[in-house]
């Protein structure tokens, strides 16, 4: 039922953003003045939280939690006759973005943070290239696993990738327009100023296009393999 799937996407994306923002606030309070330790705490919580959420909601909606993943699923599905329909894609994206905003607001309430938009500017060519790389790798990883019959590995693999990308990309790997939209509403360690979001989303869409292209080249058809 579509209602159940949309609820799963709303809750999953919301809880993901709550994990990212909440652990960012906790890290900022527990380790003031030590940005490296804050990032370690934030990334560790995100790795674990994301893996759990994929396991929890994957059987219901596929656990996309990310508009670019849903977009890639729709685009790749057009070739194979599977994936999301156009209407389902729009509904997924709306649910994900609403969940992202709700998750940030929930984290603010849990940690008694005043409501308001983030002031942290995240701009520059290096950061945008980091978002392209992070998003392309994420899309490639997910659909490589799906197309080779290893979808069961998505939870640990995606969690591990995002955790690593926190550190090897200059942008700390947002790689998700719904997460970027949510993090606008938290003026904390995890926040992003609204003025920085459009460029981040553009870079994420570009990264998704690169990821889809690589999937089509490396895995042109779903073909289970032995490992």
Query: Would the pTM of this model clear 0.85, i.e. be above it?
Result: yes
Residue 227 domain flag: no
> What CATH number did the domain enclosing 154 receive?
1.20.1080.10
Element (H, E) at 75: helix 67-80
Separation CA 177–CA 185 (nearest Å)? 14
Spatial CA neighbour of 133 closest among 16, 214, 37: 214
Residue 126 domain flag: yes
Our CA angle for 12, 184, 196, nearest 5°, is 120
Q: Which residues of 197-218 are buried (b: 16+ CB within 10 A; e: fewer)?
A: bebbbebbbbbbbbbbebbeee
Number of domains in the chain: 1
Q: How far is CA 60 from the centre of its chain?
A: 18
Cβ atoms of residues 118 and 192 within 8 Å = yes
- pLDDT at 200 (0 to 100): 98
Residue 170 domain flag: yes
Residue 226 domain flag: no
Look up the domain containing 12 and give its range. 2-218
- pLDDT at 225 (0 to 100): 52
Residue 69 domain flag: yes
- pLDDT at 56 (0 to 100): 98
- pLDDT at 224 (0 to 100): 57
Residue 87 domain flag: yes
Separation CA 216–CA 219 (nearest Å)? 5
Mean pLDDT for each 10-residue chunk of the chain (227 residues)?
A: 96 98 96 94 97 98 98 90 91 98 97 91 96 98 96 97 97 96 93 96 98 96 62
Residue 224 domain flag: no
For residue 111, what are the contacts with CB-CB under 8 A and spacing of at least 6? 22, 25, 26, 29
Residue 225 domain flag: no
């Amino acid at each position: 039922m579509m209602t159940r799937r949309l609820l799963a996407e709303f809750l999953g994306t919301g809880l993901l953003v709550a994990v990212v923002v909440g652990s960012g606030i906790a890290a900022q309070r527990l380790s003031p003045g030590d940005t490296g330790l804050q990032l370690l705490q934030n990334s560790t919580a995100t790795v674990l939280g994301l893996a759990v959420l994929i396991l929890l909601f994957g059987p219901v909606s596929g656990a996309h939690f990310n508009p670019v993943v849903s977009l890639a699923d729709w685009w790749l599905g057009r070739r194979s006759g599977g994936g999301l329909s156009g209407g389902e894609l729009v509904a997924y994206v709306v649910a994900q973005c609403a969940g992202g905003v709700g998750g940030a607001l929930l984290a603010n309430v849990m940690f008694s943070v005043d409501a308001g938009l983030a002031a942290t500017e995240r701009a520059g060519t290096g950061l945008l290239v980091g978002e392209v790389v992070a998003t392309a790798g994420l899309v490639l990883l997910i659909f490589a696993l799906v197309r080779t019959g290893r979808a069961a590995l998505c939870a640990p693999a995606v969690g591990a990738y995002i955790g690593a990308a926190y550190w090897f990309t200059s942008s700390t790997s947002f790689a998700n327009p719904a997460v970027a939209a949510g993090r606008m509403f938290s003026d904390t360690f995890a926040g992003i100023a609204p003025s920085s979001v459009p460029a981040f989303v553009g870079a994420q869409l570009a990264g998704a296009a690169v990821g889809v292209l690589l999937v089509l080249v490396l895995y042109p058809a779903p073909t289970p393999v032995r490992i």
